[in-house]
Every structure is written in structure tokens, then in C-alpha cells.
Amino acid sequence: MTSENPSANRWSNLERPPLNGAALRRALTNTDGGLYCDIDVVEATGSTNSDLAAHAAAGEAEEGAVLVAEVQTSGRGRLDRTWSAPPRSGLFFSVLLEPAEIPVHRLGWLPLLAGVATATALSRVAGIDTALKWPNDLLVTVDGQERKAGGILAERAGERFVVLGIGLNVDLAADELPVPTAGSLALAGARLLDRDTLLRAVLRSLEQWYGAWRKAAGDPAACGLQEAYAAGCATLGRRVRAELPGERSLVGEAVALDGDGRLVIATDGGGREAVGAGDVVHLRAASGDGTDSESA
């Protein structure tokens, strides 16, 4: 792992102070039997997921390594979408995991686990309700509308590791949002916006949920993960359109999550299909012309 790389002007924006890497390391890495072995804060990088995967491939990182960037210049979401935000306006970090004892078919729960962990932490320290859009979006309510404030990306890194990336908009103002459907904790009325406190809370919550999931050998029901995700999932009970590989789409009601974390859709044709990959769009009630309209 590389060392922290403060620039000469790291205190140039006092309204958005830099993260305190040394304090984060003291708080999170000095615990007996804890998950985190190293926390590295860098001023800027292309993608924390890509960098951490490269460190792992070079033998320079082990499970529990955390890489945080004040800004990402090539941040990625699912389906090769970009993720952009002003420097120090959010949390952009990746965690290296080695879930060796988890069956491969259970690994799809990792981004869902990260969503539950993040939502739990934000509720506790920021007093804000965060809904989960299957499989990897974090939604907040801004002016009565669902807005995406965060995203999660889990990627395999070789045969041993999974890199889990989380991006969260913290104090973006309305005129800084990359798209109209985006949101931030500030716009949703969070009572706390200190990024150091938020990051510590999210990482501790992630450590707890990941530890419980591993102890249960990846069984989401046994560790309470399946119940917790279903309780906070804004997708369940909604009419949705799933854009699937092969340019196929599926429209119906999202009715359940199966044991592998797949979304079960009751289709308009009367059947049920479990979706494990694809892009899901929340649909509002049918419009006057008989077509469905989209929400966040």
C-alpha cells in the first residue's frame, strides 16, 4: 500500500477539511481480531477499486486493507457507469476482503451486506433513513423524492479477493449534483456531515455485518442479513423493469430476495424469475397512455 499523500493545498478549502488518515488508522486498526489492517488516505486517484485490486495482485495488500480517496477521477459504478463528485464532498473508498470460506453462490450478498451496513451506520450517526435499491444503490429522500446518494461496487480481484467499493455523497449542494436524480446527505437533512465520523461508523458497521456473515458461512438468513436487507429495500413491493444481459427486459413486481441475493420478480405473464445480474428501474404507476413511468 502507498502512504498518505497530502498536497500542499490540502487545507485550501476549510469548509471541506481533509480526512485525518492517522486518526482513522488509530481508531480502526488497533483492535484485537479486528478486520482492518491498514487504512490509506490519498488526495486523488482514478479508482480506489482498481488501485486496491492492483495492490492485492502485487502482494502489497491483504484482507482488511482500506483505500480512501478525497476525489476519484475515474470512479466506477456497476455496468461501467462513472461516479464523479467534487473533492472532499463525499466518501469514496474500497475495502479488500478475502471470503475464502464463503460458497461462490453466496458472494452476491456482499454488495447487499455493504448496503445494510452503510444504511445502519447512517441511521445511527447521521439520523437519516437510507433506503436500498437492489442491488447496489443507496437512496435518500430529497423534497419528497427518492434520490441516489451512494453506490456500491463489488469486484473479484484474482482468485482470493473481492474488492468492495463504496461511494457516498455527503455535503454536495444542489448545483453540484452530477445528474438531477442524485442526492446527498446534506440535501436529505442529515444531522451530521463530518466525514471522519461517518467513515468510522460505516467501516465499523461493515466489520460487524461481514463478521456475522462469515461466521454463518455466508448464510444470509442465519446472520439476519436477509431480513435486514428486505426491511430496508425500496425495491421490494415495487413495480420494476429489469434490463438483463442479452438485451432482454423483464417487467413485473419485485416480490422477494432468494437465498443467493437474487431479486425475484413476479412477471406480468404470471411467472416468477430470479434476477441475479442486470439493471433494475423502479416504475411508478401506469401513466394515462398505458405505459409505465420511471422513478429513481
Q: Which CATH superfamily is domain 21-232 in?
A: Bira Bifunctional Protein; Domain 2 (3.30.930.10)
d(CA 133, CA 138): 6
d(CA 23, CA 63): 20
pTM of the model: 0.90
d(CA 39, CA 222): 30
Instruction: Check: CB of residue 157 under 8 Å from CB of residue 53.
Output: yes
pLDDT higher than threshold 60 for residue 30: yes
Instruction: Check: CB of residue 235 under 8 Å from CB of residue 282.
Output: yes
Q: Please report, for residues 6, 151, 159, 266, the alpha-carbon distance to residue 257 in angstroms, rounded to integers and kept in the order given.
A: 44, 19, 27, 12
DSSP SS3 for 22 = helix
Q: What is the pLDDT of residue 69?
A: 97
pLDDT higher than threshold 70 for residue 8: no
**Which helix (H) or strand (E) segment is 281 a member of?**
strand 279-286
Q: What is the pLDDT of residue 82?
A: 61
Answer positive or negative: Cα dihedral of 36, 186, 140, 79. Answer: negative
Q: How confident is the model at residue 284 (pLDDT cuts 50, 70, 90)?
A: confident
* pLDDT tens string 57-109: 999 999 999 999 999 997 555 445 565 789 999 999 999 999 999 999 999 99
**The three grid cell numbers given for residue 177, joined into one nine-digit string:** 449534483
d(CA 63, CA 32): 15
Instruction: Check: CB of residue 79 under 8 Å from CB of residue 49.
Output: no
Identical fold between 21-232 and 239-294: no
| b/e burial code for range 57-76 (CB count within 10 A of at least 16 → b) | eeeebebbbbbbbbbbeebb
pLDDT higher than threshold 70 for residue 134: yes
- Based on its alpha-carbon atoms, the radius of gyration of the chain, rounded to whole angstroms, reads 19
CB neighbour list of residue 281: distance below 8 Å, 6 or more residues apart? 240, 241, 242, 243, 294
Domain ranges in the chain? 21-232, 239-294
* pLDDT tens string 178-216: 998 999 999 999 999 999 999 999 999 999 999 999 999
CATH of domain 239-294: 2.30.30.100
| Edge-to-edge strand list for the sheet holding 90-97 | 38-42, 65-69, 90-97, 161-169, 145-157, 137-142, 131-133
d(CA 76, CA 60): 22
Residue 177 has phi, psi (to 5 degrees) of -65, 140
DSSP-derived secondary structure for 244-278:
ETTTEEEEEEEEEE-TTSPEEEEETTS-EEEE-SS
